[in-house]
């Protein structure tokens, strides 16, 4: 199979996690749940929860600084700053502009991207397009998610699933050695938007006393249906991305799936034809950090040398929208 020539590559990565660890046992003290239920249904053991005074921009800036250091990039060199977040600190202006100010990335164009858990793969694909069009030399893609701020802590069917964190990557034009993004397959289906939604707080249903009372400003999810679509669409996205990259499942050194639920991860790996010993999993430690799960997993896998120069890496994600996508990279 002919392999495409990468146009851009990831030049550095970083992650930032709040220190505060909340275990399943901690949650069971105030919620009608149990460690046994959460572990057996999701694989999650604990998650990080940011303190009240730490927002999405803090999580994103922490990760971005590390990614810039690992890429050897100064703030003034960043041409485009893309921030994927489902939990912006404020509805206006963008969290990207707040992160830009903190970094001192004064030459960058900065904007938020709303694609929920698929946001990092969407962001890398946008960065690829921006740089390939010749609009700049350095892109910074950041995922910053304070999921604890948008879940209903009295709803056991959602709050136990999520955690907070930030991840980031510096993207540059490919050096010609064959490393970089080989393929990207992105999809969305707005007909399924009601499966995972925050109904109030936006323009249609602005914040009101009624919204607060009914908690319609918080996440609502039809878990079983989301599960079904996640499994089907992630499997299909893996197939498309591998085919476009000229790779077979056997060529994949590491699959990094979105970390929402261990059962979804196992099912995706099975459909993709990739054994679990080639799948990166950290859902037990962090829960679902929406778009931040994938860059955090990449950064950890690099540190553990599960990704080394020459590795073929497959990313796949799924989230509210619905949105989903997969990306093949050569490291
Ligand atoms: O990033 C993408 C976002 N979301 C996802 O990927 C989520 C996809 N969905 C899932 O991961 C699963 O559907 C869940 C983990 C959310 C739920 O697992 P499930 O096996 O689909 O359980 P269920 O919703 O069908 O609930 C089964 C039972 C219910 O009780 P009854 O009606 O059978 O008596 C729930 O009330 O489990 C109950 N339940 C709980 N029990 C203890 C729901 N949440 C909890 C809980 N602790 N935390």
260 CB less than 6 Å from ligand 1? yes
229 among known catalytic residues: no
Q: Which two structure tokens, joined as six digits, stand for 303?
A: 């540190």
Residue 41: alpha-carbon gap to chain centroid: 21
- Of 24, 97, 117, 233, the active-site residue reads 117
Q: For residue 26, how many other CB atoms are within 10 A of its CB? A: 14
Residue 205 belongs to a domain with what CATH number?
3.40.47.10
**Atom 25 (ligand 1) nearest CA:** 224
Q: Whose CA is nearest to atom 28 of ligand 1?
A: 157
* Residue tagged active-site, from 233, 261, 288, 312: 288
C-alpha 226 to ligand 1 mean position (Å):
11
CA-closest candidate to residue 187, choices 39, 323, 58: 323
Residues 139 and 238 in one domain: no
159 assigned to active site:
no
Per the structure, the count of domains in the chain is 2
The verdict on residue 204 lying in a domain is yes
Distance of alpha carbon 40 from the chain centroid: 23
Task: Tell me if 16 CB under 6 Å of ligand 1.
Answer: no
| C-beta 261 within 6 A of ligand 1 | yes
Is residue 1 one of the residues assigned to a domain? no
Tracing tokens 């970083």 back to the chain, one arrives at 14
Q: Round to whole Å and give the CA distance between 259 and 265.
A: 7
Mutate which of 41, 45, 117, 284 for ligand 1 pocket (most atoms within 8 A of beta carbon): 41
Q: Which of 143, 176, 209 is at the close of a domain? A: 176
Write out the DSSP string of 243-270.
HHHT--GGG-SEEEE--S-HHHHHHHHH
How far is Cα 259 from Cα 268, in angstroms, rounded to an integer? 11
Choose which residue among 153, 227, 284, 325 to substitute to test ligand 1 binding: the one with the highest number of ligand atoms within 8 A of its C-beta.
227
Find out whether the beta carbon of 223 lies less than 6 Å from any atom of ligand 1: yes
Structure tokens at 113: 């991207």
Query: Is the CB of 33 within 6 Å of ligand 1?
Result: yes
- The answer to whether the CB of 324 falls within 8 A of the CB of 182 is no
Same domain, 162 and 293: no
- Are residues 238 and 284 both part of a single domain? yes
Q: Which phi and psi (to 5°) does residue 165 adopt? A: 175, 170
Whether 271 sits among the annotated catalytic residues: the reply is: no
pLDDT (tens digit per residue) in 267-305? 999 999 999 999 999 999 999 999 999 999 999 999 999
> What is the token pair recorded at 61?
């800036």
Q: Are residues 36 and 156 in the same domain?
A: yes
Residue in 87, 95, 99 with CA at minimum distance from that of residue 63: 99
Q: Which residue has the tokens 């799936």?
A: 257
Say yes or no: 245 and 287 in one domain.
yes
Last-in-domain residue among 176, 211, 227: 176
In-domain check, residue 161: yes
Do 268 and 231 meet the contact criterion of CB atoms below 8 Å apart? yes
Please indicate whether residue 119, judged by its CB atom, sits closer than 6 Å to ligand 1: no
- Measuring from atom 39 of ligand 1, which residue has the nearest CA? 157
> Which residue's C-alpha comes closest to atom 18 of ligand 1?
41
- Does residue 28 sit in the same domain as residue 114? yes
257 assigned to some structural domain: yes
Residue after which a domain boundary falls, among 123, 158, 176 = 176
Which two structure tokens, joined as six digits, stand for 75? 């703030």
**d(Cα 53, Cα 311) in Å, to the nearest integer?**
39
Domain assignment present for residue 89? The answer is yes
In a domain, 2, yes or no: no
| Cβ proximity of 165 and 17 under 8 Å | yes
Q: Does residue 92 fall inside a structural domain?
A: yes
Give all strands of the β-sheet with 323-330 in edge-to-edge order: 180-188, 323-330, 312-319, 254-257
**Same domain membership, residue 221 and residue 162:** no
Same domain, 102 and 246: no
> Of 56, 103, 123, 43, which Cα lies nearest the Cα of 295?
123
Measured from the CB, is residue 319 less than 6 Å from ligand 1? yes
Per-residue model confidence (pLDDT) at position 4:
83
Regarding the beta carbon of 230 and ligand 1, being less than 6 Å apart is answered yes
Compute the residue count for the chain: 331
Predicted pLDDT of residue 176: 84
Residue 3 is predicted with a pLDDT of 76
State which H helix or E strand residue 297 sits in. helix 293-303
From the CA of 319, how far away is ligand 1's center (Å)?
16
pLDDT at 51: 98
pTM of the shown model:
0.97
Rounded Cα–Cα distance for residues 278 and 269 (Å): 9
Query: Are β-strands 8-16 and 21-23 bridged in parallel, bridged antiparallel, or unpaired?
Result: unpaired
Query: How close are the terminal C-alpha atoms of the chain, in Å?
Result: 19
Q: In what order do the strands lie in the sheet with 109-113?
A: 8-16, 164-173, 139-146, 80-84, 109-113
Query: What per-residue confidence (pLDDT) applies to 1?
Result: 61
* Dist. CA 93 → ligand 1 center (Å): 35
**Alpha-carbon gap, residue 221 to 6, rounded angstroms:** 37
Instruction: Using 70 as the pLDDT threshold, list the residues of the chain that sit under it.
Output: 1-2
Shared-domain flag, residues 17 and 166: yes
- Which residues form the domain of 286? 181-330
User: CB count, 10 Å around CB of 79?
Assistant: 17
Same domain, 28 and 154: yes
CA 223 to chain centre: 19
Nearest to 61 by CA among 104, 29, 20: 104
Atom 38, ligand 1: which residue's CA is nearest?
Answer: 157
Mark whether 170 and 202 lie in a shared domain. Answer: no
């Amino acid at each position: 199979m002919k392999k495409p020539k990468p146009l851009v590559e990831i030049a550095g990565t970083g992650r930032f996690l709040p220190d505060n660890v909340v275990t399943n046992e901690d949650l069971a003290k105030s919620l009608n749940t149990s460690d046994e239920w959460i572990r057996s249904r999701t694989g999650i053991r604990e998650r990080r929860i940011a303190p009240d005074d730490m927002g999405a921009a803090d999580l994103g800036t922490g990760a971005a600084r590390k990614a810039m250091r690992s890429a050897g990039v100064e703030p003034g060199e960043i041409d485009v700053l893309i921030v994927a977040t489902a939990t912006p600190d404020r509805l206006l202006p963008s969290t990207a502009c707040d992160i830009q100010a903190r970094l001192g990335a004064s030459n960058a164009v900065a904007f938020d991207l709303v694609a929920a858990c698929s946001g990092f793969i969407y962001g890398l694909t946008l960065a690829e397009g921006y740089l390939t069009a010749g609009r700049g030399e350095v892109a910074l893609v950041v995922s910053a998610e304070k999921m604890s701020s948008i879940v209903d802590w009295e709803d056991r069917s959602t709050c136990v699933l999520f955690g907070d964190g930030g991840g980031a990557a510096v993207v540059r034009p490919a050096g010609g050695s064959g490393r970089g993004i080989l393929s990207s397959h992105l999809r969305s289906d707005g007909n399924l938007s009601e499966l995972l939604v925050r109904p109030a707080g936006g323009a249609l249903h602005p914040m009101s006393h009624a919204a607060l009372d009914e908690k319609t400003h918080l996440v609502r999810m039809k878990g079983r249906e989301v599960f079904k679509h996640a499994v089907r669409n992630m499997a299909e996205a893996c197939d498309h991305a591998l085919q476009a990259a000229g790779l077979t499942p056997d060529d994949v050194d590491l699959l990094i799936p979105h970390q929402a639920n261990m059962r979804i991860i196992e099912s995706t790996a099975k459909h993709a034809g990739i054994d679990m010993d080639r799948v990166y999993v950290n859902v037990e430690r962090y829960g679902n950090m929406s778009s931040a799960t994938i860059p955090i997993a990449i950064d950890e896998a690099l540190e553990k040398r599960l990704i080394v120069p020459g590795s073929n890496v497959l990313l796949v994600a799924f989230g509210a929208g619905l949105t989903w996508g997969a990306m093949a990279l050569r490291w």
